[in-house]
Structure 1
Amino acid sequence: MDGGRDDRFLACVAEEEAVAFRYNGFSHAVMMATPADLEDFALGFSLSEGVIGAPSDVSGMSIERAESGIAIDIVLAGRCLHGYLSRRRVRQSRGYAGCGLCGVEDFESLPRPVARICRSEPPAREAIIAALESLRSWQPLSRSTHCAHAAAWVSPDGSIRAVREDVGRHNALDKLIGAGLRGDFRTTQGFGLVTSRCSFEMVQKAVAAGFAALVFASAPTALAVRTAEAAGLRLYACLRERGPLLFANPAEISS
């Protein structure tokens, strides 16, 4: 209170909880995340981690509140389980909301480039701009708390098909990937849009999910561009008055 004026106001804050991933009873990682769209998160995280290759690799899932957070128990099917156990690694630390590589022990544990993705028609500039202009209306968590990232899937005409939010940008993208795996959209039709900076692990997640084009709200790192080029991912960034700029174009890269 200053000079008789009461400056207090009611503010909404975003939830952030520990979310533990277990596969067939084996602990894998603990991520700090917004406790929403957890089935999407489980599928998207499992795909981007390389644990599964398709939704059919998951034969069951349960989500329960534990003493210190939320436990997601995922049951892997047949050959997927055998593959997971043969290459199983456990993150050695908690995965915080802003970090994509927490707990990786050495260089050999870093994610490797995957096979090149299928080419598709590049998104139109008008579609990118239209999606950016309408995205805010799809972000209730961000509007109320001012601290959440969003990842969206956009149709070729610029209309938004799905949006997932989280305090962590990696989590938001994983949730969107999971939504696609559950049938909310097809990655062969449209492009991804993320309200965050573009780092190489975000590109790798999109490539693992089969995205053909990805748009970010800020410029990418050099490693993100090289990773996108190697995989055949069109990578855009929207830089305020300059509009969407193309940083990686598979049409210019020999197969």
Structure 2
Amino acid sequence: MNRKFAVNSRDHKIKIISAGHAAPAPISLIGEEPLSIRVQGMPYAVVMRTPGDEKAHVAGFCLGEGIVDQPDDITNIAFCDGEDTNVVTVTLTADRRTRIADHLDRRTYISQTSCGICGKSIVDDLVQALTPVPDGDPLDAQRALDRLIHLGDHQPLRAKTRAAHAAAIYDRDLARLSIAEDVGRHNALDKSIGMLFMDNRLSQAHLLTLSSRISYELVQKAARARIPVILAVSRPTALAVQLATALNMTLASLGKNDDLMVYCHAWRLDGSSKPTAQE
């Protein structure tokens, strides 16, 4: 964790009622606190998240929002007034600040601005702002599925609280590069991406596994990180599939009897060749 006093879970006493009898029991509850993200000293967004990995979280968030494209766009990520605060500020290079001046002046929050906008315009706008991911190499579907099935084995916070989402990223050989947990699925992905982004290893990312459903915002974040394959425990939304299809990304989820349900660009997982534009 980044913060000296970060608390990602708290002990709590409850009563368990069974067959008409009540008995006390200890339980751990997942922590949730606001995190204020400032860019160039100005407020940009406030997210509710589980404390821990704040700097990676903010780096991944900024990549997903289009605030940065490369780690070198950031001159500093720091806590305000000490590491026991819930405020992190990002300082950009002068060149990057000039390039995204309009974006910052609007203070748009891309990942959370779907209210009042039709699905078609969301996809059209995002496809224009994003670049389709490269084809890359197909993956061994069974081994990739195994990574998804065993995602929970690498979630100590979930084991403790039963309330944490996770995002894990793997390379082409399906070796794990990063994993993060958080009360929010968007936050877990920002943290996992941010860890690699800050370490200049994001180019190695090839597979993302999620403990949650796949929403269009998560597809957007993965597209910004250039991750071509997403596997999740729950099914995607129709909008997520529409966006992933346009961005040349493969989406799949866990089916009955641990089957793999693939929604678009199945060639990366089913061993077939990529269809031509005419097919």
Give the corresponding residue for 1:112: 126
Structure 1: which 5+ runs fail to align? none
Task: Tell me: CA distance 1:105–1:218, structure 2 relative to 1, closer, same or farther (3 Å).
Answer: closer
Moved more, 166-175 or 150-159: 150-159
CA contact (8 A) 1:131 1:159 kept: no
CA 1:167–1:122: 2 relative to 1, 3 Å: same
**3-state SS in 2 of match to 1:220:** coil
DSSP 3-state at the match of 2:99: helix
Partners of 2:255 and 2:98 lie apart in 1 by 45
Partner of 1:252: 275
Cα deviation 1:36-91 (Å, max 9, x = unaligned)? 1111111100010111111110001111468x961111101022111232222235
Aligned residues: 248
Q: Deviations along 1:163-205, whole A, 9 cap, x unmatched?
A: 1011000111111111121237444453111110011111011
In structure 1, C-alpha distance between the alignment counterparts of 2:202 and 2:45, rounded to whole Å? 28
Letter aligned with residue 101 of structure 1: Q
Distance in 1 separating the partners of 2:162 and 2:224: 29
Distance 1:218 1:116, change over 3 A: same
For residues 106 and 225 of structure 1, the distance between their equivalents in structure 2, rounded to whole angstroms, comes to 18
Matched residues in 2 for 1:235 and 1:253: separation? 19
Q: Does 1:226 align with 2:242?
A: yes
Letter in 1 for 2:197: L
Larger Cα Rg: Structure 1 or Structure 2? Answer: 2
Q: Partner of 2:235: helix, strand, or coil?
A: coil
Q: 1:4 Cα shift?
A: 10
**Equivalent residue of 2:26, what SS?**
coil
Determine if contact 1:153/1:185 at 8 Å carries over to the other structure.
no
Residues 216 and 238, structure 1, Cα contact 8 Å, conserved in 2:
yes
Q: Give unpaired runs (5+ residues) of structure 2.
A: 1-14, 268-273
Separation in 2, partners of 1:105, 1:51: 23
Report the TM-score when normalising by structure 2.
Answer: 0.79
Q: Which residue of 1 aligns with 2:28?
A: 12
Asked if 2 retains the 8 angstrom alpha-carbon contact of 1:150 and 1:195, the reply is yes
Distance 1:185 1:56, change over 3 A: closer
Q: Which residue identity is paired with 1:243?
A: D
**Structure 1 residue corresponding to 2:256, chosen from 221, 234, 240:** 240
Confirm or deny that 1:101 pairs with 2:117. Answer: no
CA distance in 2, matches of 1:236, 1:109: 21
How far residue 210 of structure 1 moved from its aligned partner, in angstroms, is 0.6
Paired residue type of 2:112: L
Give the conservation status (yes or no) of the 8 Å contact 1:58–1:74.
yes
Does 2:193 correspond to 1:194? Answer: no
**2:197 maps to 1:181:** yes
Identity of aligned residues (%): 26
**Equivalent residue letter for 2:142:** E
Matches of 1:129 and 1:103 in 2, distance apart? Answer: 31
- 1:197-226 Cα deviation digits (max 9, x unpaired): 011111011001110111111111111111
Is 1:140 aligned to 2:156, yes or no?
yes
- Structure 1 counterpart of 2:196, one-letter code: G
Q: Partner residue of 1:127?
A: 143
SS at match of 1:196: coil
- Say which structure is richer in strand: 2
Alpha-carbon distance between aligned partners in 1 of 2:115 and 2:214, rounded to the nearest angstrom: 20
Work out whether residues 128 and 244 of structure 1, in 8 Å CA contact, stay in contact via their aligned partners in 2.
Answer: no
Cα-Cα RMSD: 2.9
Displacement, 1:104? 6.5
TM-score, normalised to structure 1's length?
0.86
Shift of 1:157: 4.0
Judging changes above 3 Å, is the alpha-carbon distance between structure 1 residues 60 and 172 closer, same or farther for their aligned structure 2 residues?
same
